[in-house]
Amino acid sequence: MQVRIFLHFLFITFYILISTQVVEAQRVEINKEGEKIVLFPDGKWLYFDKTNPTHIVIDEANKSSQIATPNDIFDEQTSKGENEEKRYENLLSDAKDKLALALERESDVKFSKILLEEEIEDLKRSGEDTKEKIDALKRQLKLIKALGKDAKKETKKAKKEFEKLKKQGKIVQKPTKKKSRKIQKLKSAEKELQASKYMHREDGNFFTASKKFEKYSIEKDVMYNPPREDCKLAFDVVDEFMGKKRKDVERSVFFTYTNDDMRRYMKDDDYITCEGNLTQIKGGVLLLNLFISINTTDAQRSFGGLSKGNLVVVKMINGESVNLVNNQSDIGVFNPLKKQHTYTGQFRINAGQEKALKKGEVDLIRIIWDAGFEDYEVYNLDFFINQFRCLDK
């Protein structure tokens, strides 16, 4: 009895060994006709037989060999993590360069502003007749201030993007429990960056974008040769109500205003935005239309309204002032979605005022509100010059 059991055991063992060798030597594949076959190492083949135990064992063995091992999965996850980490590293580097360039531009604008202010003061102290030079420098100073405003916005935007990427990096840095050397190196670089006061890097690639700048040319400098705006008319037909030819220039931004204390609350918006345009009606009627939007729910208490007869004083860079009288009263229209009040004023321009506005560049504008007056600095120096140019076309 024991001999029979032992022989049976030997037979099963021998069958398992032979089956394993057969499985390793043979494989199940699909031929061109879509039929399942068993392929032998010498190139011979047989149709797959579902009732043949050997064929079934070969098929099962082939299937198990195609299943990914835990190590394969780990390697794939690690590779994916490294790709994500590399992508994050590139994004972070680009954001740092962008922020550095924005800071550099803001610094350059500030320095240019200081130089212009010093030059103006020197000319004033000289006692010579330098009015034309001072006026020219004041125009440049206006443009520099406008550039400074844009530079601050770009710096703020770049800093926000950089901080956002740093926060995202905390997630990207953990693709697996076991961190790779690359990820540890990246974390170390981030700590070094956070410890740096100026985020400055002493290598030749830091300001690569600046090397692509064109050589300075005064002819291309918009401060000395500002590009002319395209003329667009909003209305150029006979007004049915008046029965006269009427021409309206398209609106453009006249000035914006946000004081420093409110800047952090306004984000990228301005507290006050004033758009304006000129209207010409056949018969010698010339009007200035102002559309003043104030981003607050409390505008009526703070400003009141624009009453008929209230003045708008336009001060030019050359020292001249033009007083315009409001033709209509307006208490403002409130937009609950934008939380914004908009006031509309209409001001008659006579022949003498037209002559002064046509040739002059605007410095300041004073608006007489019902609650008092406020002065606003104008960066669009050529507002009236461009508007009249479009009317005359």
Tens of pLDDT along 179-224?
456 556 556 655 655 555 444 444 445 445 444 556 556 566 665 5
Q: Are 324 and 376 in contact (CB under 8 A)?
A: no
Instruction: Read off the pTM.
Output: 0.50
Residue 312 CA to residue 347 CA, distance in Å, equals 8
Locus of tokens 């006026």: 135
pLDDT of residue 83: 66
pLDDT of residue 216: 55
Q: Are 75 and 83 in contact (CB under 8 A)?
A: no
Within 13 Å of residue 346, how many CA atoms lie on the same side as its CB? 10
Provide the 10 A C-beta neighbour count for residue 246: 19
* CA neighbor of 109 nearest in space, from 144, 157, 139, 137: 144
Locus of tokens 């758009």: 275
Q: Are 182 and 85 in contact (CB under 8 A)?
A: yes
Q: Are 103 and 200 in contact (CB under 8 A)?
A: no
Provide the 10 A C-beta neighbour count for residue 119: 15
pLDDT tens digit sequence for 212-227: 556 556 566 665 566 6
Locus of tokens 């390793």: 24
pLDDT of residue 94: 84
Into which CATH architecture does domain 233-392 fall? Sandwich (2.60)
Length of the chain in residues, anyone? 393
Question: Nearest-5° angle of CA 352, CA 355, CA 356?
Answer: 90
The backbone torsions φ and ψ at residue 308, rounded to the nearest 5 degrees and listed phi first, read: -65, 130
pLDDT of residue 170: 52
pLDDT of residue 39: 75
pLDDT of residue 125: 80
Residue 266 CA to residue 278 CA, distance in Å, equals 29
Residue 362 CA to residue 11 CA, distance in Å, equals 107
* DSSP H stretches of helix in the chain: 2-25, 53-66, 70-126, 131-172, 181-195, 260-266, 299-303, 351-359, 383-392
Q: Give the residue ranges of the chain where pLDDT is below 70.
A: 1-25, 32-33, 42-43, 53-55, 57, 60-84, 129, 168-229
Residue 13 CA to residue 20 CA, distance in Å, equals 11
pLDDT of residue 103: 84
Q: Are 294 and 271 in contact (CB under 8 A)?
A: yes
Residue 312 CA to residue 323 CA, distance in Å, equals 6
Q: Which residues contact 268 (CB under 8 A, 6 or more apart)?
A: 153, 157
Per DSSP bridges, beta strands 36-39 and 372-377 are: unpaired
pLDDT of residue 43: 66
